[in-house]
Amino acid sequence: MWTDGYIAVDWGTTNRRAWRVVNGAVEQEFADDLGFTSVPPGGFPAEVATIRERLGDLPLLMAGMVGARGGWVPAPYIPCPLDLATLAASLIEVPEARAFIVPGASFVDGLRGDVMRGEETQFFGAVAAGLCPPDGLICHPGTHNKWALMQGGNLVWFRTVMTGEMFSILKAQSLLKAWLEKPAHPGKVFAEGVARGLEGRAVTADLFTVRARVLLGSLVEADVASFVSGLLIGADVRTGLNGMPQGEVIVMGRGALTQLYAAALTQFGRPNRQVDGEEAFLAGTNAIVERLS
C-alpha cells in the first residue's frame, strides 16, 4: 500500500497541513486554517476527499485532532510510557478511505491527567531523525504548549499549558484586545514580561496591571503584546521546568513561537535549541510508515 507514497496530514486545533510524500521526500504540500474547530459536524469525509483532490489518490496517514472526540474517527489515547513501535501498532484504520489515524498519548499522575494528539508524532520523529537526543526535555509551543520528557527514545511524561489559547482569548475578547493586534517580539519589554511570569505571581492580577499601566502612561500601547506574551510564556516556562532534569531543552515547532520560548528559556538560564516542527512531523510519519511496510 505504501510503496507508491502516502499523504501525511497534521490536523491541529486551528490549522491543517498536508504533504504528498514519495520515497520519504515531500513532492507537494498545502496548509490552511481549516483546523478541527472549523470543520462542521459530519464534514470530515468531504474535507478528507478535498485533501486527495489536491495531493493525489494515495493512502493517508493522519495525526492530530482528526482522531479526537468529535473528529472524523475516534482514536484512543495510549498511556505513557509510550514507544514508537506501540504507537505504530495502534493506528486506527478507516478501510473504506485507505486512511490510518495515529492515536494520541495520555499521562496520569494522581489527580492530574493530560492528553495530546499530533505532538507525539513529532517527538518520535525528531528522535528517529536525530533532530533531538533520545533523552531530554522538549518544549512544543502552540495553542496548547506541551512539555515532554523523553527517556531512551520513549515518551515517559508530559504536561500541557494553555498559553497559546489564553493569548488568543485575551486578543479576542479581553480588556486588552485592542492592544494585542501587533506581533510580540523578543526584546526588553518581552524580557520584562518573562521576568514577571517567572516570579510565580498571579497572572490574572498581573494582566490587569497591564491595562492600568497603559492608562497611567508607564507602558506604551505598542509594547503591550510583547509584555503580555512574555508574562504568559514566563509563567509557562516556570511550570514546565518545575521538577525537570537539567540540560538542554529542545524547542520544537514554528519559528515565530519557538524564538519567543527560546528567548525565555535563555533568560531563565537554560540552554536550548530550536527544531522545526514540520521536519519532525514528517520524520515521524516516515518512521511509522517504515514499520508498516
Residue 10 and residue 119 share a domain: yes
**Taking 80 as the threshold, does the pLDDT of residue 167 lie above it?**
yes
**Is 250 among the domain residues?**
yes
Is 148 within the bounds of a domain?
A: no
Domain annotation covers residue 42: yes
Residues 122, 10 share a domain: yes
C-beta of residue 24 within 8 angstroms of C-beta of residue 14: no
Pairing mode, strands 104-109 and 112-116: antiparallel
Residue 27 lies in a domain: yes
- 190 and 115 in a single domain? The answer is no
pLDDT value, residue 181: 93
In a domain, 152, yes or no: no
**Mean pLDDT, residues 258-280:** 97
Residue 37 in this model has a pLDDT that exceeds 90: no
CATH number at residue 88: 3.30.420.300
List b or e across 86-113, with b for residues whose CB sees 16 or more CB atoms inside 10 angstroms: ebbeebbebeebebbbbbbbbbeeeeee
Same structural domain, 22 and 124: yes
Model pLDDT for residues 221-257, shown as the tens digit of each residue? 999 999 999 999 999 999 999 999 999 999 999 989 9
- Indicate whether 282 and 245 sit together in one domain: no
**Is residue 82 situated within a structural domain?**
yes
Quick count: other Cβ atoms within 10 Å of Cβ 171? 16
If asked whether residues 115 and 165 sit together in one domain, one would say no
Determine the pLDDT at residue 107.
97
Quick one: pLDDT at residue 2?
Answer: 87
**Amino acid, res. 22:** V
In a domain, 142, yes or no: no
Residue 139 has pLDDT above 80, yes or no: yes
Q: Nearest CA to 233 among 163, 176, 149?
A: 163
Q: Which domain holds residue 125?
A: 6-132+278-292
* Pair (282, 246) in one structural domain: no
Q: Give the number of domains in the chain.
A: 2
Single pTM value for the model: 0.94
Cell numbers 505513557 correspond to what residue? 80
